[in-house]
Homo-oligomer: A and B are copies of this chain.
């Protein structure tokens, strides 16, 4: 009963007010997989070049992340992104995007992946997301992420894609762009009418709101003493969210509100840990005990 994660594995160059790293492991699928692997077995689908470092593959493998679907392009280079964060870290400027082998990414799932029940589609071209979904034959719960670029320039393709999803994860500005509504409740109703019964609107440091059918759940953001590097926080949220649901064996047809709410909090927990160090570094030492302790801390600082 594994979770299939599709998306980018990359190298990132990141500068925050706390420091600068020229090249480190990154990519949406990397963060999603590392976060989800605390809760459920993960099978990765991504593409890298032959510059992909053995120690980075070893980190993923050490978490029992199945790399059978990690395509290695001989003579190719791995997706590279570089960016710099503003002083308050609420904005970032992209300095460089070299798609490299990611430009021709056309995910083919290994036979061993196709019968898995859980699917998280990271932010890639909507038609590719749809192609992956069609390769799976026993799905219990499927959904994913998208971004402003697909919403603006690939709208019809995106709508055809999310119409098949059980859940969509999206940030607040993207929800506004997709729905035409700034008001979160109106935006959510419009997006749910496009297909996904479950919708998580992420609000950065302010937390997230879960909409499921007629129910909504407002989750505040965890208050970190220091945000070191927000890169990957949204993807780590996604990994915690779907990882927890997969670990609980939840199927879309009988997903209950209480479990989905806990999944959102686990998502917030994973996003908050991600920000504590550069890149994926926090996940090198993070334990499941620390995750559960922070979940309880979330309860104690939100109850009334």
In the complex, chain B residues whose CB is within 8 Å of the CB of A88 = 182
What sequence of 0s and 1s flags, for each residue 276-304 of chain A, a beta carbon within 8 Å of any chain B beta carbon? 00000000000000000000000101111
Q: Are A261 and B183 in contact (CB under 8 A)?
A: no
Residue A223 interfacial (CB < 8 Å): yes
Please tell me how many copies of the chain the complex holds. Answer: 2
What sequence of 0s and 1s flags, for each residue 215-228 of chain A, a beta carbon within 8 Å of any chain B beta carbon? 11111110111110
Provide the bound-state CA to CA distance between A203 and B265, in Å: 20
With A203-B206, A206-B203, A206-B206 known as contacts, the answer to whether A302 contacts B217 (CB < 8 A) is yes
In the complex, chain B residues whose CB is within 8 Å of the CB of A265 = 304
Pick from B186, B217, B264: contact of A225, CB under 8 Å: B186
Size category of the A interface is 20 to 34
CB-nearest residue of chain B to A88: B182
Q: Are B218 and A183 in contact (CB under 8 A)?
A: no
Q: What are 30 A-to-B residue pairs whose CB atoms are below 8 Å?
A: A88-B182, A183-B226, A183-B227, A184-B223, A185-B223, A185-B224, A185-B225, A186-B225, A203-B206, A206-B206, A206-B207, A207-B220, A215-B301, A216-B223, A217-B302, A217-B304, A218-B220, A218-B221, A218-B301, A218-B302, A219-B220, A219-B304, A220-B220, A261-B303, A261-B304, A262-B304, A264-B304, A299-B304, A302-B302, A303-B303
Interface residue ranges, A against B (CB under 8 Å) = 88, 182-186, 203, 206-207, 209, 215-221, 223-227, 258, 261-262, 264-265, 299, 301-304
